[in-house]
Structure 1
Amino acid sequence: MNAQGVETMDSPPADPKRRRVLIAATSALGAVGVGFVAVPFISSMNPSAKARAAGAPVMADVSKLEPGALLRVKYRGQPIWVVNRTDEMLAALPTMDPKLVDPASEVPQQPEYCQNPTRSINQSKYFVAIGICTHLGCAPTYRPEFAPDDLGKDWKGGWFCPCHGSKFDLAGRVFKGVPAPTNLVIPKHKYVNENTILVGEDEGAA
C-alpha cells in the first residue's frame, strides 16, 4: 500500500540480459532507419547518369561512311560533323584560299594538330567539326556539290547557313563578306583505329 492508501504491486526485478537484448534491437532498428534516410541524401550528391554522359567522349564509326558523305554524332549536346572528303574535294581546298577570311586557320578555332590546309589530323580526308555557325549558332546545311545554281559556279563544296547566308568551305573555313566572323570550331579528337574517331579526347588528355 502506498502513502495514499492505494494498494500497489511491486515491479518484478529487471533482467539484465533481457535489457541488453532490447537495447541492441532498438539500436539496430534505429541504425536501419537512419540508413534509409541517408541513402536518398547521399545519392542526391552523386551526378546523374545524364550529367556523366554529357561530357563523355563519343565514338564516330566511319567504317561505312561513303566518300563525300557526312556523319552526325552528338557531343555535349552539340552536333558533330564527320565528313569523308573525296580526292576532288581535298584538291579544291587550296583554290578557295583567296575567298576566305582565315585560310591558314590562324584564329584558334581548332586544336594545334588541325592547324593545316585540311584542318584535320595528319591532313586526313576525314574532317571533324562542331556543326554550329559561328555567327548566331544556326545549323548550316551541308552542300557538297560543285557549282550548284543557287551558290554559283565558284562553289566547290562546303556548308551554307540558311539563317543569314554565311558560307564555309570543306575545311570549315569561313568565306569573306558573310556574317560569320570565324571558321567553324573543331573539337579535340583522335583516332582510336583507322575506322573509329573519338570526339572529346585527344593524345594530350590526362
Structure 2
Amino acid sequence: MPVQGSRARTVGYGFGERLRVRGQVARDNMLRLRLRVALKLMALLALGTFALVLLLALLSPPGGKVDLPLEVDLTGIEPGALREIEWKGRRVLIVHRSPEMLDALPPDDALYDPASRLDRRPRGLTEAHRGFREQWLVVFGESTDLGCPLELVPPGSDPDWAGGFRDRCRGGRYDFAGRVYRGQPAMRNLEIPRHRIERERLILGGS
C-alpha cells in the first residue's frame, strides 16, 4: 500500500509539472511573438522616417533654403545707382540703369551670347535689356566662371571700354545687361534670379 501511494503522488506530481511547463512554454511563445511584433513595428517606423526624410530632401530647393519671396522698395535707387542685397545666401545686384547706361550697350558682335541662349533667366525678359523694364537690371553678383564678386563700372570711367560689370578676380567684363563680352574668361551671361516688378517694388522668388 505505501508503494501504491507513492506512485500516485509521483504520477500526480508529474502531471502538474507538465501543466506548469506547458504554461511556461505558452508564456514564452507569447513573449517572443510580442517581441517580433515590436521589432517589426520599429523597423516599419524607421523605414517610414527614412522615406519621409528622403522625400523632404528631394522636394527641398537647391542649397536647402526655402524660396521665400523678398520685397525690395525701388523708389530710393537713383538712375545710375546700384543696390546690393543678399538673398538665399547669394549677392543680388539691383541696377537702376540710366540713359547713359542704356546707350552704352554694345552691338551684338561684341558679345559672346547676345541673345542669352546659354544662360538661365526668367521668362518674359526683353532680349536686349534682359529685364522686365529696360531701366531695371537684377542679376546675381558673381561672375559665371569662378563666382568672383562683381563691381559696377559707370559709363566713361574707363577709357578702354563703355562700362558695365567687371569681376574682381580676372577682370572679366559684362555689359550693362549682364552679357559677357567676347574674349573673356567666362562664356555665360550673368545669372538672373526669378523675380518680378510690381509698380515700384521688386519681388524676388515666390510664385
TM-score by length of 2: 0.63
Cα distance in 2 for residues equivalent to 1:91 and 1:147? 9
Larger radius of gyration: 2
SS at match of 1:184: coil
Q: 1:118 aligns with which of 106, 129, 133?
A: 129
Higher helix share: 2
What are the ranges of 5 or more consecutive residues in structure 2 without an aligned counterpart?
Answer: 1-5
Asked if structure 2 preserves the Cα contact closer than 8 Å seen for 1:105 and 1:183, the reply is no
Counterparts of residues 1-206 of structure 1 (less than 5 Å): 8-10=13-15, 11=17, 27=33, 30-45=36-51, 46-47=53-54, 52-54=60-62, 56-63=66-73, 66-67=76-77, 68-74=82-88, 79=90, 81-86=92-97, 88=98, 91-98=100-107, 100-101=110-111, 104-109=114-119, 110-121=121-132, 123=133, 125-134=135-144, 136-143=145-152, 145-148=154-157, 151-152=158-159, 154-156=161-163, 158-187=164-193, 189-191=194-196, 194=199, 195-199=201-205
Question: Aligned to 1:32, what secondary structure does the other structure show?
Answer: helix
How many percent of aligned residue pairs carry the same amino acid?
16
Normalising by the residue count of structure 1, what TM-score does the alignment of the two structures yield?
0.63
1:70 aligned counterpart, secondary structure: strand
Query: Is the 1:94–1:117 Cα contact (8 Å) retained in structure 2?
Result: no
Deviation per CA, 1:6-31, whole angstroms, max 9, x where unpaired?
Answer: 994314759xxxx9999777655543
Native 8 Å contact 1:81 1:128 kept in 2 = yes
Deviation sequence 1:100-136 (CA, Å, 0-9, x none): 4158425342344224332012x254423344423x3
Secondary structure of the corresponding residue to residue 39 of structure 1: helix
